[in-house]
């Protein structure tokens, strides 16, 4: 099926999901929309997140996407059910795939979740995990310093290590935890340092990687994967500074991004 | 949705898929059918495999299953497309989930596949892998000794190790391979020995575990997971010796199986 997969995010974090989609589904075209002008969504009221998400969705629906990926934890928590009900195309969020992968991986049934304050406070991962298995022990830890640090490009070296070590100190008390979910799309960029800090006894699950896997599973299940051999072509759009977006995209993606469209979503007052 | 998941297999191998379904979806009821009287399916002509598989499917459809899992590589290769088209419920086979997990895991794009002679000869994994990514390098290795050995209960110790070491000798030439698919539902039982023999540099993917993960993803995606709290109750049926089936089920599953129904499928001439 030769229609693109639509990917929406409040900003650049979802590029890690796009990167994995490109790797795991190298024949598929993507259209990525980052609402960089109005990010972060985390501190905004639910109604606003719903409105802004619909702005991105409506933009993509005009481009005939065959599937929608909500590559943003906050938007997933607030809009997934509504979008699943209202759209005719499959919709995949970023929370359940990470939860399912953790359930597959854990042997002790003790799972940790790292995320932004909003994601941890929403208990979205806890609900998704408990929905499948009531017996799980789950601990969430907000890491507010990580996403801004990653966007600044501090992703390795002594400073990154120090910030991550300090933030993850409470993990030392969760002796039984054998699986840790990276519940924020920025965190895969610092996954190597996180793994170094927490040691080999804990498996680190990246929600974004698992989301790409489930996109593959669902498109495969629906027989909607593209099976021809036209060249691949991705499109990127941002509501804010396109130069900054392009710079980050070129750092995070494994292929060059030479064009980013600047778009306006919603009314100018909504910023 | 409080209907059971149906699982079919030519014999006992699919119990490893059932085990993972029980672990990853502990609230779901399963109905397992093993066509032990007519197994193995591998050497049979395609038309016969199709007929026998429909016998199991028709038995399960009368029990109002909400999903069908084909936990048998041969039956998946020959019947998945037809069953997907003809049934109103979702149908998941055992080949594509393993292929997708391998694509997610590999960094070198060199993937190995172990299976029965029939599975390797059918190139079913190669097709599923190439369908998603043309660039992959794939090598298949038939291990005809493994399934009979596992059914005899030889699953660890020096004999198992020797058989596995000899069978896997050709793997030494695939220097770039970093991911190995266990393309037979018997093999997860000897996964620890296989991992010991091939060493830490290769990730071993069990198709059955990955199938359970995709069943979870698809039922979750379709909002058909059971969300209540009635006690779990599984049913097992076999066409052959139910005592032998029960013995193997009690070795492989992590919960006791006290009842196995004996059923007759097809005409007595079909054995």
pLDDT in tens, B105-161: 999 999 999 998 888 988 999 999 999 999 999 999 999 999 989 888 899 999 999
Same domain, B54 and B122: no
Residues in chain A: 271
B229 touches chain A (CB under 8 A): yes
Asked whether the beta carbons of residue B104 and residue A227 sit closer than 8 angstroms, the reply is no
**Chain A interface disruption, residue of B27, B76, B100, B127, most A CBs within 10 A:** B100
CA atoms within 13 A on the CB side of A121: 9
- Minimal CA–CA distance to A131: which of B217, B27, B231? B27
Asked whether the beta carbons of residue B104 and residue A212 sit closer than 8 angstroms, the reply is yes
pLDDT on residue A78: 92
pLDDT surpassing 90 at residue B176: yes
> In the predicted model, what is the mean pLDDT of residues A76-95?
96
B97 touches chain A (CB under 8 A): yes
A225 touches chain B (CB under 8 A): yes
Residues ≥6 apart with Cβ < 8 Å to B266: B38, B51, B52, B55
Same domain, B71 and B126: no
Q: What CA–CA distance (Å, rounded) separates B102 from B129?
A: 9
Q: What CA–CA distance (Å, rounded) separates A100 from A128?
A: 8
**How many angstroms away from the CA of B51 is the closest CA of chain A?**
23
Same domain, A89 and A214: yes
Written as six digits, the tokens of B63 are 């029990």
Q: According to DSSP H, which parts of chain B are helical?
A: 15-24, 46-61, 73-86, 95-105, 117-122, 124-132, 146-151, 157-167, 191-198, 207-221, 242-252
Same domain, B235 and B201: no
Nearest residue of chain A to residue B216 (CA atoms): A100
Q: What CA–CA distance (Å, rounded) separates B219 from B215?
A: 6
> In the predicted model, what is the mean pLDDT of residues B214-220?
97
Written as six digits, the tokens of A116 are 């932004």
pLDDT surpassing 90 at residue A197: yes
- Helix (H/G/I), strand (E/B), else coil: B83: helix
User: Within 10 Å of residue B46's Cβ, how many Cβ atoms?
Assistant: 13
B216 touches chain A (CB under 8 A): yes
- Minimal CA–CA distance to B42: which of B16, B12, B77? B77
> In the predicted model, what is the mean pLDDT of residues A138-162?
93
Same domain, B13 and B67: yes
Asked whether the beta carbons of residue B103 and residue A216 sit closer than 8 angstroms, the reply is yes
Range of the domain at A249: 5-93+210-270
CA angle A31, A34, A40 (to 5 degrees): 155
- Minimal CA–CA distance to A17: which of A216, A202, A161, A197? A216
pLDDT surpassing 80 at residue A267: no
Residue whose structure tokens are 């501090």? A154
Same domain, A117 and A202: yes
- What CATH number should be reported for the domain holding residue A84? 3.40.50.1860
Q: Identify whether the C-beta of residue A241 lies closer than 8 Å to the C-beta of residue A271.
A: no
Q: Please, what is the average pLDDT of chain A?
A: 94
- Helix (H/G/I), strand (E/B), else coil: A253: coil
Asked which of B175, B207, B239 is the last residue of a domain, the reply is B207
The percentage of chain B sitting over the pLDDT mark of 90, rounded to a whole number, equals: 86
Q: Which one of the listed residues A184, A197, A238, A249 is annotated catalytic?
A: A184
Same domain, A120 and A247: no
Asked whether the beta carbons of residue B26 and residue A132 sit closer than 8 angstroms, the reply is yes
Quick: pLDDT tens for A198-212: 999 999 999 989 999
Instruction: Enumerate the β-bridge partners of residue B116.
Output: none
Residues in chain B: 271
**Which has the higher per-residue pLDDT, B268 or A98?**
A98
Confidence of residue B266 (pLDDT cuts 50, 70, 90): confident
> In the predicted model, what is the mean pLDDT of residues A93-104?
96
pLDDT on residue A117: 87
pLDDT on residue A44: 87
Same domain, A108 and A175: yes
pLDDT surpassing 70 at residue A271: no
Same domain, A195 and A226: no
Same domain, A184 and A116: yes
ipTM of the prediction: 0.89
Domain count, chain B: 2
pLDDT on residue B118: 85
pLDDT on residue A152: 85
pLDDT on residue B254: 83
Quick: pLDDT tens for B40-79: 888 888 999 999 999 999 999 999 999 999 999 989 999 9
Is A143 annotated as catalytic? no
Asked which of B176, B207, B238 is the last residue of a domain, the reply is B207
Nearest residue of chain A to residue B107 (CA atoms): A23
B135 touches chain A (CB under 8 A): yes
pLDDT on residue B204: 97
Nearest residue of chain A to residue B93 (CA atoms): A221
Residue A70 DSSP code? E
Same domain, A103 and A230: no
Q: Identify whether the C-beta of residue B35 lies closer than 8 Å to the C-beta of residue B265.
A: yes
Quick: pLDDT tens for A28-65: 999 999 999 998 888 888 999 999 999 999 999 999 99
Same domain, B105 and B198: yes
A92 touches chain B (CB under 8 A): yes
Asked which of A164, A183, A207 is the last residue of a domain, the reply is A207
Q: Is the peptide bond before A5 cis (omega within 30 degrees of 0)?
A: no
C-alpha distance from residue B268 to each of A111, B45, B48, B244 (Å): 51, 18, 14, 21
Written as six digits, the tokens of B97 are 């989930």
pLDDT on residue A76: 94
pLDDT on residue B271: 63
């Amino acid at each position: 099926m030769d229609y693109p997969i639509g990917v929406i995010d409040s900003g650049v974090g979802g590029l890690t999901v796009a990167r994995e989609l490109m790797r795991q589904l190298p024949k598929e075209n993507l259209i990525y929309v980052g609402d960089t002008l109005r990010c972060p969504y985390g501190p905004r009221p639910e109604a606003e997140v719903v409105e802004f998400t619909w702005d991105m969705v409506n933009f993509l629906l005009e481009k005939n996407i065959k599937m929608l990926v909500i590559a943003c934890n906050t938007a997933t928590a607030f809009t997934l059910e509504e979008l699943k009900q209202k759209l005719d195309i499959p919709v995949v969020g970023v929370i359940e795939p990470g939860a399912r992968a953790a359930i597959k991986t854990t042997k002790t049934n003790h799972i940790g979740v790292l995320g932004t304050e909003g994601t941890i406070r929403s208990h979205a991962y806890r609900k998704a995990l408990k929905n499948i298995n009531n017996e799980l022990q789950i601990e969430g830890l907000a890491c507010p310093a990580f996403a801004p640090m990653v966007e600044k490009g501090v992703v390795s070296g002594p400073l990154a290590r120090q910030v991550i070590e300090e933030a993850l100190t409470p993990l030392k008390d969760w002796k039984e935890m054998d699986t840790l979910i990276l519940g924020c799309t920025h965190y895969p960029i610092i996954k190597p340092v996180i793994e170094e800090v927490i040691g080999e006894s804990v498996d680190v699950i990246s929600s974004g990687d698992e989301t790409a896997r489930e996109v593959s599973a669902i498109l495969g299940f629906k027989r909607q994967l593209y099976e021809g051999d036209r060249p691949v072509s991705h499109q990127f759009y941002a509501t804010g500074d396109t130069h900054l977006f392009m710079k980050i995209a070129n750092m995070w993606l494994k292929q060059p991004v030479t064009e980013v469209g600047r778009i306006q979503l919603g009314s100018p007052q909504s910023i």
